[in-house]
Chains A and B, each alone.
Chain A
Amino acid sequence: MSTVDVKRRVLPRWSPKLAIGLGLIGVVVVFGLVGPLVVGDPNTVRDIGLTPPGGSFWLGTTQTGQDVVAQIAYATRGSLQIGLVVGVLATVLSAVFGIVGSYAGGIVDEAFSLFSNVMLVIPGLPLVIVIAGFVPAAQRGSWTIAIVLAITGWAASARVLRAQTLSLRNRDYVAAARVAGERTWRVITVEILPNLLPVLASQFVFAVVLAILSEAGLSFLGLGASNSSTLGTMLYYAQNGFALQREAWWWFVPPGLVIALFGCGLSLVNFSIDEIINPRLRDVPRKPGKVAATVEVVPATRGSDDAVLTVSGLSVVYQGEKPVHAVRDVSLTLRRGEILGLAGESGCGKTTLAYAVNRLHKPPAEVTAGAVTFHDRDGTDVDVLGLGVEELRVFRWSKLSMVFQGAMNALSPVTSVAAQLDDVLVTHRPEMSREERRKRCVEVFTLVGVPPERLGAYPHELSGGMRQRVMIAMALLLDPQVMIMDEPTTALDVVVQRGILLEILKFRDSLGFAVVFITHDLPLLLEVADRIAVMRDGEVVELGSAEELNVDPQHPYTRELLESFPSLTGERGGFVRGTPALDGGVR
Chain B
Amino acid sequence: MSALEARDLVKEFGVRDGVRRSVLRAVDRVSFTLSAGRTVALVGESGSGKSTIARMIARLEKPTSGEIVLGGEALEGEALGGKVLGGKALGGKALSDREYRHRVQMVFQDPFASLNPFHTVEHHLARPLKLHGRVKGGAESSKMVRELLERVTLPAEFASRRPHELSGGQRQRVAIARALAPGAGIVVADEPVSMLDVSIRLGILKLLARLQREENLAVLYITHDLATARHFSDEILVLYRGRVVERGPADQVILEPRHPYTKLLAAASPDPSARGREFSVGREVVEAAGSAAAYDHFAGTWAAV
A interface residue numbers (CB < 8 A to B): 1-2, 5, 9, 171-173, 175-182, 190-191, 194-195, 345-346, 493-499, 502, 520-524, 526-528, 546, 550, 560-561, 563-569, 572, 575-580, 582-587
Q: How far is the CA of A175 from the CA of B128 in the complex (A)?
A: 13
Closest residue of chain A to B157 (Cβ to Cβ) is: A1
A2 touches B120 (CB 8 A): yes
Verify if B83 is at the interface (C-beta below 8 Å from A).
no
B175 touches A584 (CB 8 A): no
B201 touches A564 (CB 8 A): yes
Given contacts A181-B101, A578-B213, whether A493 and B45 have CB atoms under 8 Å apart is yes
B108 touches A584 (CB 8 A): no
Residues from chain B with Cβ under 8 Å of A173 in the complex: 113-116
A179 touches B210 (CB 8 A): no
A180 touches B101 (CB 8 A): yes
Which one of A546, A567, A583 has the greatest number of beta carbons of chain B within 10 Å?
A: A583
Verify if B189 is at the interface (C-beta below 8 Å from A).
no
Further contacts, 6 of them, CB under 8 A, given A172-B108, A572-B251: A178-B60, A179-B105, A494-B224, A497-B268, A502-B279, A568-B230
B279 touches A523 (CB 8 A): no
B231 touches A577 (CB 8 A): yes
Q: How far is the CA of A533 from the CA of B39 in the complex (A)?
A: 37
Verify if B236 is at the interface (C-beta below 8 Å from A).
no
Given contacts A182-B131, A523-B270, whether A580 and B106 have CB atoms under 8 Å apart is no
Verify if B109 is at the interface (C-beta below 8 Å from A).
yes
Verify if B2 is at the interface (C-beta below 8 Å from A).
no
B278 touches A502 (CB 8 A): yes
A495 touches B45 (CB 8 A): yes
A566 touches B45 (CB 8 A): no
Chain B 101-124 per-residue mask, 1 if CB under 8 angstroms from chain A, else 0: 110011011100111111110000
Q: Which 9 A-B pairs have the closest CB atoms?
A: A584-B203, A526-B272, A523-B270, A172-B114, A583-B206, A493-B45, A583-B207, A172-B113, A575-B231
Chain B 85-100 per-residue mask, 1 if CB under 8 angstroms from chain A, else 0: 0000000000001100
Residues from chain A with Cβ under 8 Å of B110 in the complex: 172
Q: Which B residues, 120 to 142, have Cβ-Cβ distances below 8 Å to chain A?
A: 120, 127-128, 131-132
B274 touches A527 (CB 8 A): yes
Residues from chain B with Cβ under 8 Å of A566 in the complex: 202, 227-228, 230-231
Chain B interface extent, by class: 35 or more
A564 touches B264 (CB 8 A): no
B198 touches A565 (CB 8 A): yes
B268 touches A5 (CB 8 A): no
Q: Which B residues, 51 to 65, have Cβ-Cβ distances below 8 Å to chain A?
A: 58-60
Q: How far is the CA of A521 from the CA of B272 in the complex (A)?
A: 11
A584 touches B206 (CB 8 A): yes
Closest residue of chain A to B110 (Cβ to Cβ) is: A172
Q: How far is the CA of A483 from the CA of B154 in the complex (A)?
A: 43
Verify if B162 is at the interface (C-beta below 8 Å from A).
yes
Residues from chain A with Cβ under 8 Å of B161 in the complex: 1-2
Chain B 193-214 per-residue mask, 1 if CB under 8 angstroms from chain A, else 0: 0000111111110110110110
A568 touches B128 (CB 8 A): no
B interface residue numbers (CB < 8 A to A): 39, 45-46, 58-60, 97-98, 101-102, 105-106, 108-110, 113-120, 127-128, 131-132, 153-155, 160-162, 164-165, 167, 169-170, 175, 178, 181-182, 197-204, 206-207, 209-210, 212-213, 224, 226-228, 230-232, 251, 254-255, 264-275, 278-279, 283
**19 A–B contacts from the bound complex (CB under 8 Å):** A5-B165, A172-B114, A175-B114, A176-B108, A180-B105, A181-B102, A181-B128, A191-B116, A494-B224, A502-B278, A520-B197, A520-B198, A523-B272, A572-B230, A582-B206, A584-B203, A586-B153, A587-B200, A587-B203
B275 touches A527 (CB 8 A): yes
B210 touches A580 (CB 8 A): yes
Residues from chain A with Cβ under 8 Å of B109 in the complex: 172
A182 touches B127 (CB 8 A): yes
Given contacts A181-B97, A527-B274, A568-B227, whether A578 and B209 have CB atoms under 8 Å apart is yes
In angstroms, how far is the closest chain A Cβ from the Cβ of B189?
A: 12
In angstroms, how far is the closest chain B Cβ from the Cβ of A337?
A: 15
Which one of B154, B202, B212 has the greatest number of beta carbons of chain A within 10 Å?
A: B202
Given contacts A181-B132, A520-B197, whether A494 and B268 have CB atoms under 8 Å apart is yes
A9 touches B108 (CB 8 A): no
Closest residue of chain B to A582 (Cβ to Cβ) is: B206
Residues from chain B with Cβ under 8 Å of A546 in the complex: 272, 275
Given contacts A520-B197, A577-B231, whether A180 and B270 have CB atoms under 8 Å apart is no
In angstroms, how far is the closest chain B Cβ from the Cβ of A427?
A: 34
Residues from chain A with Cβ under 8 Å of B154 in the complex: 586
Q: How far is the CA of A561 from the CA of B120 in the complex (A)?
A: 32
Residues from chain B with Cβ under 8 Å of A496 in the complex: 45
Residue from A1, A194, A498, A565 in contact with B268 in the complex, judged by beta carbons closer than 8 Å: A498
Residues from chain B with Cβ under 8 Å of A583 in the complex: 153, 203-204, 206-207, 209-210
Closest residue of chain B to A557 (Cβ to Cβ) is: B199
Residues from chain A with Cβ under 8 Å of B279 in the complex: 498-499, 502
B199 touches A568 (CB 8 A): no
Closest residue of chain A to B131 (Cβ to Cβ) is: A181
Residues from chain A with Cβ under 8 Å of B167 in the complex: 587
B160 touches A567 (CB 8 A): no
B178 touches A176 (CB 8 A): yes
B46 touches A493 (CB 8 A): yes
Q: How far is the CA of A345 from the CA of B168 in the complex (A)?
A: 12
Given contacts A181-B128, A182-B131, A524-B270, whether A587 and B169 have CB atoms under 8 Å apart is yes
